[in-house]
């Protein structure tokens, strides 16, 4: 059977959303739900991009501000601002977390062929975080590798920087 | 098939634990009732199951053991120390085999052969007969039960020879199930009553397997002054039949004198009816034996399911609090009623769910008993282990985590605590050491106390050692209690000789750490020459916490009530100008933590601050908050892996309105602050 050929033609769904002035997308299999913005409780002594925790039907959900993490402009919250609940692998455990987005755009159906490799140099973003890019008319949509974006080493290093600054 | 196998493994584990427990009991009380019978039965089940699931070696070894216990059962053999040792080792071995059924591990294979030889050796050796434990092996048989009617009419003079007839009846209770009716019709009015005269007489129904003679023996010394009539009513337990109990209640109500002939006739008729009914039931296939009923009384549930249930219930509690809040502000009376109703049910549901998670301490005591037994053999110290309050219940997760620290404490007591026999003789202490474990409830805590009557902690040598290890300075002045608590510090181990049992450099500090993780406290009290008591104080559950709800800026915090001492009010400006980061409270200079400043809540600072005085391990600190809202029972939620590095916040709780309160860990805040101050001091010193 010609599996490789088929798999490249197979359509996958991606949820696209806006962060700052850029459009990103994540594999829908990683997205559990999309929540309206609600008051977030900041946990003291945590880096700025860890916005805090919210109550998700009785469990505590950490919410991250990906805009700060990616160094994008942080806009004021609007009615469109929302929390995308993601299922992420962190050091071998599956955890749920929320990521803030300025707005959710649409669900795209893309085959693997349509996704281009990210440029390894000259990119604004760390290519390690990206699965690839997709050219949508006049702009690029960056497809995130969700597990890598929220990887633990990154979090620890940002925490370490914060605490040294404080000390 | 896999699921069947895991059921088998679970059950096998339980059967082995059961056998182990009975064996340990048997050792202490060789005459304990039907122990052999129970062991035999458990082994039989284990053997059957094992062969069925292909655990051939388990089956084989169990079969050999079963043979021995069969011999004992038939009194061809007796229980002795050797037998117990071999059987207990076999139990350990069988446990290992459950993970290594084909004897792949050569250690297991070798041990298997050795044990088999030992067991054969036991079988060969048939000649010994020790009568002392004989009565322990006679299984009480259901069929030998008989119902007796006893008329007990004490002579009116009975008090004069110092006999209390009630004690005689109490003695009958020890023979079996009883039903007692007191006849008080003869008691005269108060004016005529003579306190030295006995007016009462009794009808007693007794179900026992004892003979008429042993019933008569109870009344041996009052035979001459009392009227005692004993009749056998039936060769089975009549008190088990509702009809019979009703019949005797009738007789009782009518104050009639029992006519034994009539009673006998009634009983014969009753038994006939019951037999017919039973026959019918068997024919229609709806007979429930007692055993089946006992089985359905408890079910085995996966711990994960219970965890899920708890989390759902706490979710319900939170949603329900939101509902009450809404109902109270709504004009709709129906809604309010409904919400109150749901609140009631929710509370009950929550309590029942928490009860489900409670497990008696018993479950780890078996392990401890085994440990004591093995160690006392190894260390050649004779130890008597006493438990009290083994039925005290604790959260199952906590029990699980408590086992290791307790084992450690026990090992310590056995190894370092107890003197050798010679030393004890010299000190005129009883040769047998006593180790006791006492558990009881105290408020919202469970206290587990381990006491030994060993040599106690030698404060002089502990102090010496602490100085050597650089834990304290030579000139430090410490109280006896402070010195005793030094042994909880990391890297402290006073054993001069490192033995196999303890003293491998891992000390009581690990125990301390584990207990702190369970939000518990550890205390040591010791008197030289008399012994040591280690007290562990634990919260009743891990999922709930009594706390003080406070507000700083827009964020709610919960401070565990256990560490809160007092609250004070003060202007924020006073804190800003405070010298050396300390304020005077009740004439004490207390360092404070400016939470607003620490947590970067710099906007909208109110005029007044509340200072919550918290204390931990003798250190006190004030926490400045905007508002103290009140006591709050928090359902604890973990913050999750993302917040692993944050230790001043130990968890979160969801408030009635759905928002989140963060649970602060005062110990960590004090510690964090201590370090910060010291760093600052260092810095200023460097600058100077």
Residue-wise pLDDT tens digits, B465-476: 788 877 777 777
Question: Which residue, among B314, B346, B603, B643, would best test binding to A if mutated, counting the most A CBs under 10 Å from its CB?
Answer: B643
Share of chain B above pLDDT 70, in %: 88
Cα separation, B98 vs B10, in Å, equals: 10
Both tokens of A79, joined, read 């009615």
- In degrees, to the nearest 5, what angle opens at C-alpha B404 toward C-alphas B85 and B371? 15
Yes or no: say if A63 and A54 are a contact pair by the CB < 8 Å rule: yes
Q: Look at residue B129 and tell me whether its pLDDT is greater than 80.
A: no
Residue A149 near residue A19, CB atoms below 8 Å: no
Cβ atoms of B392 and B439 closer than 8 Å: yes
Span B76-103, mean pLDDT? 82
Report CB contact under 8 Å: A39, B641.
no
In CATH terms, the superfamily for domain B544-687 is: SH3 Domains (2.30.30.40)
Mean pLDDT along residues B339-364:
85
* Nearest residue in chain B measured CA to CA from A42: B555
How confident is the model at residue A6, as a pLDDT? Answer: 57
Cα–Cα separations (whole angstroms), residue B458 to A43, B390, B428, B449, B530: 46, 31, 19, 20, 11
Query: How high is the pLDDT of residue B12?
Result: 86
Question: Which residues of chain A have a CB within 8 Å of the CB of B600?
Answer: 44
Q: Is the ipTM of this complex over 0.95?
A: no
CATH architecture of the region B359-539: 2-Layer Sandwich (3.30)
- Please report residues of B whose CB lies closer than 8 A to that of A57: 315
Give the chain B residue nearest A157 (alpha carbons): B645
Q: Do B642 and A90 touch (CB under 8 A)?
A: yes
Question: Which residues of chain B have a Cβ shorter than 8 Å from any chain A Cβ?
Answer: 311-312, 314-315, 318-319, 554-556, 598-600, 637-643, 645-646, 648-649, 652, 654, 658-662, 679
Contact B600 A90 (CB under 8 A): no
CB atoms B659 and A42 under 8 Å? no
Nearest-neighbour CA in chain A from B574: distance (Å): 24
- A48 shares contact with chain B (CB less than 8 Å): no
Comparing CB atoms, the residue among A41, A45, A50 nearest residue B660 is: A41
Residue B113 has pLDDT above 90, yes or no: no
| CATH 3.30.70.1110 is the classification of domain B142-284 | yes
- The count of structural domains within chain A is 1
Contact A44 B637 (CB under 8 A): no
- 3-class DSSP assignment, residue B669: helix
* Contact flag B641-A44 (C-beta cutoff 8 Å): no
Provide the pLDDT confidence category of residue B302 given band limits of 50, 70 and 90.
confident
Domain that holds residue A14: 3-166
Q: Do A41 and B598 touch (CB under 8 A)?
A: no
* pTM of the predicted structure, to 2 decimals: 0.52
DSSP SS3 for A33: strand
- Chain B residue closest in CA terms to A91: B641
For residue A65, the chain B residues in CB contact (below 8 A) are none
Residue B386 has pLDDT above 80, yes or no: yes
For residues B193 and B279, which has the higher predicted lDDT (pLDDT)?
B193
> B457-478 b/e with 16+ CB inside 10 Å = b?
bbbeebbebbeeeebbeeeeee
Check pLDDT > 50 for residue B70. yes
| Segment B615-632 mean pLDDT | 84
Give the mutation candidate from B543, B655, B660 for the A interface (greatest A CB count, under 10 A): B660
Q: How many CB atoms lie within 10 A of CB B658?
A: 17
Which residue from B642, B646, B661 is facing A97, i.e. has the nearest CB?
A: B642
Exposed / middle / buried, residue B552 (Cβ in 10 Å: 0-12, 13-18, 19+): buried
Chain A contact set for B643 (CB, 8 A): 43, 46, 50, 53, 62
The CATH code of the domain at B2-137 is 1.20.120.160
Q: What is the pLDDT of residue A62?
A: 93
> Which residues of chain B have a CB within 8 Å of the CB of A97?
640, 642
Rg of chain B over all Cα atoms, to the nearest angstrom: 34
Confidence of residue B417 (pLDDT cuts 50, 70, 90): confident
Question: In whole numbers, what is the pLDDT of chain B averaged over residues?
Answer: 79
**Taking 60 as the threshold, does the pLDDT of residue B552 lie above it?**
yes
Q: Is the pLDDT of residue B140 over 50?
A: no
The stretches in chain A having pLDDT less than 70 are 1-8, 120-126, 152-167
**% pLDDT > 90, chain B:** 6
Residue B284: the pLDDT is 52
Model confidence band, residue B83 (pLDDT cutoffs 50, 70, 90): confident
Distance from CA of B663 to the nearest CA of A (A): 10
User: What's the CATH number where A16 sits?
Assistant: 2.40.50.180
Confidence of residue B661 (pLDDT cuts 50, 70, 90): very high
Contact B642 A95 (CB under 8 A): yes
Range in A114-118, B129-133, B146-150, B219-223 the model is least confident about: B129-133
- Cβ distance of A43 and B646 shorter than 8 Å: yes
Q: How far is A138 from chain B (nearest CA, A)?
A: 37
Q: Tell me, what's the pLDDT at A63?
A: 93
Reported as half-sphere exposure (CB side, CA atoms, 13 A), residue B455 has a value of: 19
Does the beta-carbon distance from B637 to A57 stay under 8 Å? Answer: no
Query: Using CB atoms, which residue from B314, B555, B598 is nearest to A58?
Result: B314
Answer yes or no: do A58 and B646 touch at CB < 8 A.
no
User: How many Å lie between the alpha carbon of B344 and the closest alpha carbon of chain A?
Assistant: 20
From A1's Cα to the closest Cα of chain B, the distance in A is 34
Residue with the bigger pLDDT between B509 and A132: it is A132
CA B87 to chain CA centroid, Å, is 26
Q: Which residue blocks in chain A are alpha helix, DSSP H?
A: 3-9, 66-69, 146-149, 152-166
Exposure string of A123-150, with b = 16+ CB inside 10 Å and e = fewer, is: eebebebbbbbbebeeeebbbbbbbebb
Contact B413, B531 (CB under 8 A): no
């Amino acid at each position: 059977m010609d599996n490789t050929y088929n798999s490249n033609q197979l359509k996958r769904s991606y949820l696209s959303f806006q962060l700052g002035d850029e459009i990103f997308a994540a594999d829908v299999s990683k997205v559990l739900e999309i929540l309206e913005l609600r008051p977030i409780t900041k946990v003291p002594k945590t880096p700025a991009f860890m916005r805090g925790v919210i109550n998700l039907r009785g469990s505590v959900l950490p919410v991250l501000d990906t805009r700060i993490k990616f160094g994008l402009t942080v806009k004021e919250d609007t009615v469109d601002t929302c929390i995308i609940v993601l299922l992420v692998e962190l050091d071998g455990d599956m955890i749920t977390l929320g990521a803030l987005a300025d707005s959710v755009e649409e669900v795209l159906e893309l085959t693997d062929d349509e996704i281009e490799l990210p440029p390894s140099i000259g990119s604004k973003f760390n290519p390690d975080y990206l699965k690839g890019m997709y050219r949508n008319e006049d702009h690029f949509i960056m497809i995130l590798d969700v597990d890598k974006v929220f990887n633990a080493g990154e979090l620890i290093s940002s925490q370490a920087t914060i605490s040294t600054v404080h000390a | 098939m896999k699921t069947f196998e895991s059921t088998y493994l679970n059950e096998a584990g339980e059967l082995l634990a059961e056998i182990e427990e009975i064996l340990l009991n048997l050792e202490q009380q060789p005459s304990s009732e039907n122990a052999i019978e129970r062991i035999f039965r458990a082994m039989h089940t284990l053997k059957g199951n094992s062969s069925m699931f292909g655990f051939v070696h388990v089956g084989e070894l169990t079969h050999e053991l079963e043979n021995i216990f069969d011999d004992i059962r038939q009194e061809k053999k007796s229980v002795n120390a050797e037998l117990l040792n071999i059987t207990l080792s076999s139990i350990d071995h069988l446990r290992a085999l459950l993970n290594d059924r084909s004897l792949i591990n050569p250690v297991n294979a070798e041990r298997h052969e050795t044990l088999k030889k030992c067991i054969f050796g036991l079988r060969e050796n048939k000649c010994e007969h020790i009568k002392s434990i004989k009565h322990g092996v006679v299984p009480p048989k259901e069929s030998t039960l008989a119902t007796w009617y006893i008329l007990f009419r004490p002579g009116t003079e009975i008090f004069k020879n110092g006999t209390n007839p009630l004690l005689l009846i109490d003695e009958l209770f020890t023979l079996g199930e009883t039903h007692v009716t007191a006849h008080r019709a003869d008691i005269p009015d108060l004016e005529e009553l003579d306190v030295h005269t006995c007016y009462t007489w009794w009808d007693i129904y007794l179900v026992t397997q004892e003979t008429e003679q042993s019933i008569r023996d109870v009344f041996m010394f009052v035979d001459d002054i009392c009227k005692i009539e004993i009749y056998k009513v039936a060769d089975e337990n009549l008190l088990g039949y509702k009809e019979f109990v009703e019949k005797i209640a009738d007789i009782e109500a009518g104050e009639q004198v029992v006519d034994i002939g009539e009673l006998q006739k009634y009983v014969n008729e009753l038994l006939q009816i019951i037999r017919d009914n039973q026959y019918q039931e068997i024919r229609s296939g709806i007979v429930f034996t007692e055993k089946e009923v006992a089985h359905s009384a408890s079910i085995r549930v996966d711990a994960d399911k219970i965890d899920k249930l708890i989390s759902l219930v706490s979710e319900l509690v939170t949603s329900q609090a939101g509902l009450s809040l809404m109902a109270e502000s709504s004009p709709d009376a129906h809604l309010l009623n409904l919400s109150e109703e749901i609140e009631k049910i929710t509370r009950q549901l929550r309590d029942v769910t928490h009860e489900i998670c409670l497990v008696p301490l018993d479950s780890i005591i078996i392990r401890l008993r085994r440990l004591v037994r093995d160690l006392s053999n190894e260390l050649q110290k004779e130890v008597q282990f006493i438990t009290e309050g083994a039925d005290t219940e604790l959260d199952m997760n906590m029990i699980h985590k408590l086992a290791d620290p307790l084992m450690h404490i026990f090992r310590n007591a056995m190894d370092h605590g107890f003197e050798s026999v010679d030393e004890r003789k010299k000190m005129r202490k009883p040769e047998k050491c006593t180790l006791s474990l006492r558990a009881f409830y105290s408020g919202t805590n469970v206290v587990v106390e381990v006491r030994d009557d060993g040599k106690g902690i030698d404060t002089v040598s502990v102090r010496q050692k602490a100085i050597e290890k650089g834990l304290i300075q030579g000139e430090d002045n410490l109280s006896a209690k402070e010195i005793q608590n030094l042994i909880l510090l990391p890297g402290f181990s006073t054993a001069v000789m490192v033995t196999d049992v303890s003293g491998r450099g891992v000390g009581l500090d690990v125990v301390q750490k584990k207990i702190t993780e369970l939000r518990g406290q550890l205390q040591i009290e010791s008197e030289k020459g008399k012994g040591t008591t280690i007290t562990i104080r634990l919260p009743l559950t891990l999922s709930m916490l009594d706390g003080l709800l406070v507000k700083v800026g827009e964020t709610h915090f919960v401070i565990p009530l256990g560490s809160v001492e007092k609250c004070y009010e003060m202007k924020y400006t006073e804190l800003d100008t405070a010298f050396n980061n300390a304020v005077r409270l009740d004439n004490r200079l207390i360092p404070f933590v400016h939470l607003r400043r620490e947590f970067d809540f710099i906007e909208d600072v109110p005029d007044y601050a509340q200072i919550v005085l918290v204390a931990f391990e003798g250190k006190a600190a004030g926490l400045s908050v905007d508002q103290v809202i009140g006591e709050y029972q928090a359902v604890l939620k973990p913050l999750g892996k993302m917040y692993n590095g944050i230790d001043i916040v130990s968890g979160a709780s969801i408030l009635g309105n759905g928002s989140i309160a963060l649970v602060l860990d005062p110990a960590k805040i004090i510690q964090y602050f201590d370090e910060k101050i010291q760093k600052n001091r260092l810095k200023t010193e460097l600058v100077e």
